[in-house]
Amino acid sequence: MHYHFSIPEAQTQYINIAVEMTTAEAQTTLQFPTWRPGRYELGNFAKNVRYFKVTDAEGKEIVAKKTSHSVWTVDTANTDKITVKYQYYAAELNAGSTFLDKTQLYVNPVNCCVYNPSLMEEKCTVTFEVPETWQLASSFDKEGDVYSAKDVHELMDTPFIWSPNLQMQTYEMGGTLFYVWFNGEVKPQWDKIIKDFKAFTEKQIEKFTEFPVKEYHFIFQITPYKLYHGVEHQKSTVIALGPSYAVFEELYTEFLGVSSHELYHTWNVKAIRPIEMMPYDYTKENYSPMGYLCEGVTTYMGDLFLMKSGVFDMEQYFKEMRTQLQRHFDNPGRFNHSVAESSFDTWLDGYVPGAPGRKVSIYVEGCLMAFVTDVMIRRHTDNKRGLDEVMRQLYFNYGAKGIGVSEADYKAMIENVAGVSFDWLFEEYLHGTKGYEAILYDCFEYLGIEMLHEPSKKYSEGRLGFKVLESATSCVLKAIYPGGPADMAGAMLEDNVVAVNNCKVNGDLDKWLNYFDDDIKVLTVERKGQLVELTMPEVQRYFYSTYDLKLTENPDKNQRFALDAWSK
């Protein structure tokens, strides 16, 4: 199949795409992807297509019958070649989208490339009509003006940016050439970037002993507005981050974190992949309970390798882990839905809050269980092995061979490395809803780390059991602690608190709550156009807590040894 992209009217944000393909059957199926790897939800990208037309080898139009939301069938009994032409609307800019304006052509082919399922293993070639002054950031192979991917899977996994504003530098590590591309308004601090990227790249390669590909591209879309998103690919990653002025200031930790995370995906997910996703099926949901491996282990390892490489110090690492702890303990869904069940259900509502208290996050709970797995392996091997050894063996025994990993495979590999049964982990935690608190305390203590918690200093959270999104004009309830005062008073999510004891709230809710500390507190809320009064009952306990980590002041020699082995 050959794809041609042109952008004659960039201001419309429609990309012109033409696809030439051979036909060997009486009827040819044309399939549009319905989701993209790295995002476990349906995308139904065909919704952005217009002017879909098919012609035969002589240029004569033939009927393309749409048989589902993302499939067309074409009668090809009398032709050995067809050309498919259409326009794709590209108006969304994030790390997994496709976007066009006068400054760039940014494409994730899995969004916009129709394909013939019977030609999945065939080579794909790509050409472009773009301004001569534009430069390409991509991992495509190139011969002259023709770019190529070895098959449809590689095409779908090869994002690219054409732009006149690209900035790039490279570094080499372990025989692989790494490109760092920036697009958008940004002033890269190259010395700082290359030093830190070399450090965490070297450490990740050291643990796996090899990098899966010989060329890798970090492609950054930097925006003038707030954005944080990354998507993994075998030979590249696209990371969208903003605002521009903050990237190398207050957002630099996030910049490093998402970069390390996406690099680790090169082994985990792009090579070590759940058996249910080997190979990817772009036509439907790819259900798997193993989000805790795909995203949880990657979240854990991405931050851990920043510490192991010296890019993060211990306190910076603790800051990231505190965030995971806070998200876990704030979510009552941990009592109702296991991380494995939540993984399977990402296809329902994986990236929005969904029904309150129903599910957990494969990133958060997966990260915490990866930490527990790591520490427990170290405990049973006198700190000689850890989760990184499990992942290394999964890579060489499965990922590098193109073999999918089942839950049984993952469990067996953990047990082989640790030398003990991990039935309890899978039954009680990954597939169960047993509380994490005790085992987290135990694992942190093994390393000489104290996990601390105290009631939230915000009156609304600690004393009344609700969280708000507050601004100068609104104060909206976003979380309610089950059985807390707000819950018992009849508060509902999305209630807008307008007054406390008849005193109007203007971005100062907690000040009013503290002022009325010794009084009965009556909250006036706006609910769907009506004003409702909620009387908060007096309860002698605390609700939402904040979590912290710190090193034990006087660790014993075993804790010092364990911490050193884990963090280096």
Any residues with CB less than 8 A from the CB of 30 and at least 6 apart, and which?
54, 64, 71, 72, 73, 74, 84, 114, 115, 116
DSSP state of 505: P
Distances (CA, A) of 496 to 223, 404, 473, 528, 535: 31, 48, 10, 9, 15
The whole-number average pLDDT for the span 86-103 is 98
Task: Report yes or no: 8 and 130 within 8 Å, Cβ to Cβ.
Answer: no
The whole-number average pLDDT for the span 187-200 is 98
Task: Report yes or no: 563 and 448 within 8 Å, Cβ to Cβ.
Answer: yes
Triad 428, 434, 435: Cα angle to 5°: 140
Mean pLDDT of the chain: 97
User: How high is the pLDDT of residue 275?
Assistant: 98
Q: Does the structure show a pLDDT above 90 at 489? A: yes
User: How high is the pLDDT of residue 380?
Assistant: 98
Choose among 313, 294, 451: nearest CA to 369. Answer: 294
User: How high is the pLDDT of residue 364?
Assistant: 98
Q: Does the structure show a pLDDT above 80 at 312? A: yes
Q: In what order do the strands lie in the sheet with 160-163?
A: 99-101, 104-107, 160-163, 135-137
Task: Report yes or no: 523 and 516 within 8 Å, Cβ to Cβ.
Answer: no
Q: Does the structure show a pLDDT above 90 at 67? A: yes
Task: Report yes or no: 268 and 298 within 8 Å, Cβ to Cβ.
Answer: yes
Give the strand pairing for 215-222 and 176-184. parallel
User: How high is the pLDDT of residue 565?
Assistant: 97
Q: Does the structure show a pLDDT above 90 at 421? A: yes
The whole-number average pLDDT for the span 300-304 is 98
User: From the CB of residue 421, how many other CB atoms can be counted at a distance below 10 Å?
Assistant: 11
Task: Report yes or no: 124 and 154 within 8 Å, Cβ to Cβ.
Answer: yes
Tokens of 1: 């199949």
User: How high is the pLDDT of residue 39?
Assistant: 94
- Domains of the chain in start order, with CATH, are 2-163 (2.60.40.3650), 166-262 (1.10.390.10), 267-449+552-568 (1.10.390.10), 459-543 (2.30.42.10)
* Separation between Cα atoms, residue 396 and residue 2, nearest integer Å: 34
Distances (CA, A) of 8 to 17, 49, 166, 547: 11, 17, 21, 54
The whole-number average pLDDT for the span 376-396 is 98
Residue 552, phi-psi category: left (phi > 0), alpha (psi -120 to 50), beta (remainder):
beta
Q: Does the structure show a pLDDT above 80 at 350? A: no
User: How high is the pLDDT of residue 118?
Assistant: 96
User: How high is the pLDDT of residue 353?
Assistant: 83
The secondary structure of 321-345 as a DSSP string is: HHHHHHHHHH-GGGGTS-HHHHHHT
Q: Does the structure show a pLDDT above 80 at 2? A: yes
- State which amino acid sits at residue 306: L
What band does 32 get if pLDDT is binned at 50, 70 and 90?
very high
pTM for this model (two decimals): 0.96
Q: Does the structure show a pLDDT above 90 at 352? A: no
DSSP state of 115: B
Tokens of 316: 């910076």
pLDDT digits (tens, 9 = 90+) for 405-419: 999 999 999 999 999
The whole-number average pLDDT for the span 538-543 is 93
Choose among 552, 206, 560: nearest CA to 383. Answer: 560
Task: Report yes or no: 170 and 178 within 8 Å, Cβ to Cβ.
Answer: yes
Q: Does the structure show a pLDDT above 90 at 351? A: no
What band does 533 get if pLDDT is binned at 50, 70 and 90?
very high
* Separation between Cα atoms, residue 525 and residue 492, nearest integer Å: 10
Choose among 491, 483, 490, 489: nearest CA to 542. Answer: 483
* Separation between Cα atoms, residue 119 and residue 375, nearest integer Å: 46
* Separation between Cα atoms, residue 522 and residue 55, nearest integer Å: 70
Distances (CA, A) of 238 to 96, 221, 406, 550: 7, 7, 28, 34
User: How high is the pLDDT of residue 259?
Assistant: 98
User: How high is the pLDDT of residue 472?
Assistant: 85
* Separation between Cα atoms, residue 362 and residue 289, nearest integer Å: 9
User: How high is the pLDDT of residue 107?
Assistant: 98
What band does 452 get if pLDDT is binned at 50, 70 and 90?
very high
The whole-number average pLDDT for the span 519-534 is 98
What band does 254 get if pLDDT is binned at 50, 70 and 90?
very high
Task: Report yes or no: 328 and 436 within 8 Å, Cβ to Cβ.
Answer: yes
pLDDT digits (tens, 9 = 90+) for 358-368: 999 999 999 99
Task: Report yes or no: 130 and 7 within 8 Å, Cβ to Cβ.
Answer: yes
The secondary structure of 509-524 as a DSSP string is: HHHHHHHTTTS-EEEE
pLDDT digits (tens, 9 = 90+) for 210-241: 999 999 999 999 999 999 999 999 999 999 99
Q: Does the structure show a pLDDT above 80 at 94? A: yes
**Residues, the chain:** 568
Q: Does the structure show a pLDDT above 90 at 251? A: yes
